[in-house]
Amino acid sequence: EKHLAAFVSYWESMRKLGDVPHRSDIDPRGIEPLLENALIVEKIAPGLARMRIAGSHLSELMGMEVRGMPVSAFIEPAGREELSDLLADLFERPAIVDLTLQSPASIGRPVMAGRLVLLPLRSDLGDITRALGCLITQGAQGRAPRRFQITNRSVTSVALPGDSGRAFAEAQTPFED
């Protein structure tokens, strides 16, 4: 958890004048304790993003190289529509998406808990079509692939320079499931 807090703080520190950082601002040395858990995703369609860079722990969870795969590969099929809506928030609002995950026990797979945090990034063109993420898990890995149910979610709008009124108004809206 302390590493995850430092991961988010690093992203915050890259926000120049309160804007969403550019992908090119992110230095792997800034997130070293969680490099094996880190990912960079690229929006490829509304609500759909694929992994461009993924740490070794993420490939171990799936039992294969995950670069190029959709980030939804980590989520049970029943939760993928919800993830799609959350990815839309991530890129469109923009917002920080923080998910609590659970992978239920099955043959050869003990219960595993997880947390996925996705932080918006700008591409080199300046549009918010990238995200820096981190997926940490607790519990024995067991047989791959491991897929997770979303058990809790937090979506926090990122205030951008010049639109504090919008962000403030949105922050008051309760999140409805």
Q: Strand 149-157 and strand 48-54: pairing?
A: unpaired
**Confidence at residue 161, expressed as pLDDT on a 0 to 100 scale:** 87
Please give the single-letter amino acid code of residue 53.
I
Contact 142, 107 (CB under 8 A): no
By percentage, how much of the chain surpasses pLDDT 70? 92
Whether pLDDT at 168 is above 60: no
Ramachandran category for residue 149: left, alpha or beta (phi over 0 → left; psi -120 to 50 → alpha): beta
Whether pLDDT at 90 is above 60: yes
- State how far the Cα of 159 lies from the Cα of 171, in Å rounded to an integer: 10
- Token reading at 44: 């490829």
Task: Provide the whole-model pTM.
Answer: 0.90
Give the residue carrying structure tokens 């039992």. Answer: 63
Whether pLDDT at 26 is above 70: yes
